[in-house]
Structure 1
Amino acid sequence: MMTQTFSMLFRPFLRDRFLHILLLLGVILTVFQPEKASQFISFVDWNTIVTLLGLLMLTKGVELSGYFDVVGRKMINTLDNERWLALFLVTAAAVLSTFMTNDVALFIVVPLTITLKKLTSLPVTRLIVFEALAVNAGSLLTPVGNPQNILLWNRSGQSFLHFIAQMTPLALVTMAALLIVTWISFPSHSLKKKESQSQSTFSKPLLISCVVLYLLFIACVDLGFARYGLVAVLVGFLVMSRQVLLRIDWPLILVFITMFVDVRLIVGLGALQQALGSIAGLPDYGHYLLGLGLSQVISNVPATILLVNYVPANALLAYAVNAGGFGLVIGSLANLIALRMSGEKKIWITFHYYSFAFLAFSGLVGWWLLPLVA
């Protein structure tokens, strides 16, 4: 039993190539800045890590309760057309991300989508890719849709409605394009249901416990006591279902921790420090391209944190870093969460096939729309 538990916990770390690349990059960067090694702990945004870990536990708890299986069966009985089901889930992901943030929306939609794989012939891998794109498109609309917008909204001094008005053109065009591509990518035919699949056991007590722990955890996060909320969630699952703790994506937590360290090491490079001093003197298109480009290298939230010190927190920067969430998977941490939750290796190639197209589209359209909102 101990051997099986050890294998479940540690084997994923040995197989995680993305994590290995990040760790290797960190080692290389540390060679050039050995004095920074003592600061690694301070480089990490621990509130983000605590929040992510809590949500991973709670989502896995709901999944193991069997509730997603119940909802999935009701959904395919109501929407048994592949195209309309795909459009519904993509739209739901986008709408949820406008007021729940993009990562929280994924924690709701992706596990439900994965459940549909057991029940139907739905191409789940492609659908999760579209859901990841949808939360990027939907979350850019509001000040609370993603972390970079929260920062830009606070720095800009704009009202809530003014910020939404500023972002509406890009959000509408990008979302319209995504729905069109979704319509084309998913054929209009009835879903083939896998009748042979036995229905999962539904544990109502576990589901209710997850809901209670979720409300407690979110309240703790909002009040600034996220770590106490995490302890409550951890103790709750130790008592109710230890399988939840064994089956969450622990390497994903280490991936995020390593990314925080790597980004700070990259920004701390001497050559880059010299380049940062010249950012303010760049023309508008230079700031725009820099927002797009840095998002591809260090993710759009760190790019925003960096650039807001040199560039006004205006529509130009907001459009650049939000469009920069497309493209490489690292462009937005929500992308990484969605792809990791899918558990499919081939999804990484499929994601970039569509995501680079949306990076080019939203980047060009965003630049064209800027004069209308500036």
Structure 2
Amino acid sequence: MPIVLRSLMRDRILHLLLLLGVILLPLAHYRWSELPAAVDWHTIMTLTGLLMLTKGLENSGYFDVLGARLAQRFQHERTLALFMVCAAALLSTFLTNDVALFILVPLTLTLRKFSRLPISRLIIFEALAVNAGSLLTPVGNPQNILLWSHGTLSVPGFIAQMAPLAAVLMLTLMALTWWSFPARAIETHAQSGAQQWHKPLFLVSVLLYVVFIVALELQLTGWALLLVAGCFLLMARSVLVSIDWSLLLVFVAMFIDVFLLMHLPVLQPWFAAITQLGEGGLYLLAIGLSQIISNVPATILLLQKVPPSDVLAWAVNIGGFGLLPGSLANLIALRMAQDAKVWWRFHLFSLPMLAWSMLCGWLLLRWLH
């Protein structure tokens, strides 16, 4: 438990969110009984399960084996980066952006054991890739699930609506990846014998991963989480101790802060005026709100005022780029990177990506309309 307490004490993002909540509490109009419902507990349970399962795979040592194979398979930084970015985008289209990161980021981190690679930059691009790839399908990310469930489009219809934006952003990201990673040979470290890994823990983690994903689709997340926690409690208690518990508290604090922000009396006239906005105003508002409160809460708020149009769908997905809060996937990826400098380096790529996406997205919308 001291490990968990040290993590909580050092988490500056959590401290900032708690301070913001304390400031907003006396200013917002709400009832204390409403605060627990402000948290999306399904999301919290999902993240908890994914954190446990990823840590189980990591502790099994199999990521070391796979990382060593990747380091041997790819000869140049550029080709490895292009492969990882494509894998992140592809996985995010059907496994959701969060799950894709939970699979790929730990694998990416193991690459530093076998080679000299710009690991933090690679993780930044994986975060950008899941934002670009996940927007294509209705199950790629939470905001798309919300938009699709509130609309009338079929799955193929939704994909057709998002395909032009997805194509432009993926082409842009591939070009940016090509430019940002040189074609120089990967410098590998000397390896001492075959990589050791714990096969039973790996197999159980993979099996539980499949069960958990199926349970998410069947709306049985709570039971699946109990199963995962119980198995690791019996088999590998170190998994439960070593996951990033403070990340879960960060998400809880974010949900409560967003709830309080939405209930500030000074902002209510602005929320009421949303229904009067034209397409351009809605486009800018959705992107701007996403930068402040993240694109999922922004989608929830805006769907109360406007229908789930293509303008809204494109805007909240574009809003995942830019500032760190734009997408919760950004926070997950950078937390897992375990690099203090990655937080500001992320914006060197994400902010230009936001500006370019906004421009291309609006021009495409004007052309399609």
TM-score normalized with structure 2 length: 0.97
* Number of the residue aligned with 2:61: 66
Which of 260, 268, 284 pairs up with 1:273?
Answer: 268
The C-alpha deviation readout for 1:234-278, integer Å capped at 9, x for no partner, is 111111111111111110000001111011110011111221111
Could you tell me which residue of structure 2 aligns to residue 30 of structure 1?
A: 25
Partner of 2:110: 115
Q: How far did residue 196 of structure 1 move?
A: 4.8
- Tell me the equivalent position of 2:294: 299
Paired residue for 1:180? 175
CA–CA separation in structure 2 for the residues paired with 1:35 and 1:127? 43
Greater displacement, 289-298 / 39-48 = 39-48
Residue 3 of structure 1 is matched in structure 2 by none
Correspondent of 1:206 among 178, 183, 201: 201
**SS state of the match for residue 26, structure 2?**
helix
Structure 1: state its 5+ residue gaps.
Answer: 1-5
- Alignment RMSD: 1.3
CA distance in structure 1 between the aligned counterparts of 2:364 and 2:100, rounded to whole angstroms: 27
Per-residue deviation, 1:154: 2.0
Match in the other structure for 2:74: 79
CA distance in structure 1 between the partners assigned to 2:214 and 2:277 by the alignment: 43
In the TM superposition, residue 51 of structure 1 has moved relative to its aligned partner by 0.6
Q: CA deviation at 1:109?
A: 0.9
Shift of 1:34: 7.2
1:17-53: CA deviations, max 9, x gaps?
0010000001111021375333221111111100100
Give the corresponding residue for 2:278: 283
Q: Paired residue for 1:338, among 316, 333, 337?
A: 333
CA distance in 2, matches of 1:347, 1:127: 10
Residues matched between the structures, number? 369
Provide the rounded CA distance (Å) in 1 between the counterparts of 2:156 and 2:3. Answer: 48
User: Structure 1 CA distance, aligned partners of 2:306 and 2:367?
Assistant: 20
After superposing on structure 2, the runs of 4+ consecutive aligned residues of structure 1 that deviate more than 3 Å are 33-38, 196-200
Report the counterpart of residue 343 of structure 2 in structure 1.
348
Report if the CA contact (8 A) 2:292-2:326 is conserved. yes
Secondary structure of 1:278's counterpart equals helix
| Counterpart residue number, 1:246 | 241
Contact 1:287-1:311 within 8 A present in 2 as well? no
Corresponding residue for residue 368 of structure 2:
373
**Counterpart amino acid of 2:168?**
V
> CA 1:35/1:267 → structure 2, altered by over 3 Å: closer, same or farther?
closer
- Is 1:358 aligned to 2:345, yes or no? no
Alignment correspondent of 2:51: 56
Contact 1:213–1:233 (CA under 8 A) maintained in structure 2: yes
CA contact (8 A) 1:30 1:36 kept: no
1:143 & 1:205 partners in 2: Cα distance?
A: 35
Contact preservation (8 Å) 1:54, 1:217? yes
- 1:302-360 C-alpha deviation (Å, 9 max, x unpaired): 10111112222111101110100001111000001000111111110110111111111
Counterpart contact for 2:29–2:265, Cα < 8 Å: no
**Residue 186 (structure 2) pairs with residue 191 (structure 1):** yes
In the superposition, relative to structure 1, how do residues 200 and 247 fare at CA in structure 2: closer, same or farther (>3 Å)? farther
Cα distance in 1 between the residues matched to 2:189 and 2:90: 29
Deviation string, structure 1 residues 209-244 (Cα, Å, up to 9, x no partner):
112222222233222221111111111111111111
**CA distance in 2: counterparts of 1:18 and 1:36, whole angstroms:** 26
Answer yes or no: is the 8 Å Cα contact 1:69–1:199 preserved in 2.
no
With the length of structure 1 as denominator, give the TM-score of the two structures: 0.96
Secondary structure of 1:32 counterpart: coil
Q: CA deviation at 1:200?
A: 4.6
Q: 1: CA distance between counterparts of 2:244 and 2:86? A: 26
1: CA distance, partners of 2:224 / 2:173: 37
- Amino acid of the structure 2 residue aligned with 1:95: L
Matched-pair contact (CA < 8 Å) for 1:93–1:105: yes
- 1:129-208 aligned at under 5 Å gives the runs 129-196=124-191, 200-208=195-203
- Go from structure 1 to structure 2 and tell me whether the alpha carbon gap of 1:309 and 1:118 turns closer, same or farther (over 3 Å shift): same
Q: Deviations over 1:267-295 (max 9, x none)?
A: 01111122111111112111111001000
Instruction: Give me the whole-angstrom Cα distance separating, in 1, the residues matched to 2:150 and 2:35.
Output: 27
Instruction: Tell me the amino acid that sits aligned with residue 93 of structure 1.
Output: A
Question: In the TM superposition, what is the alpha-carbon distance from 1:156 to its structure 2 partner?
Answer: 2.1
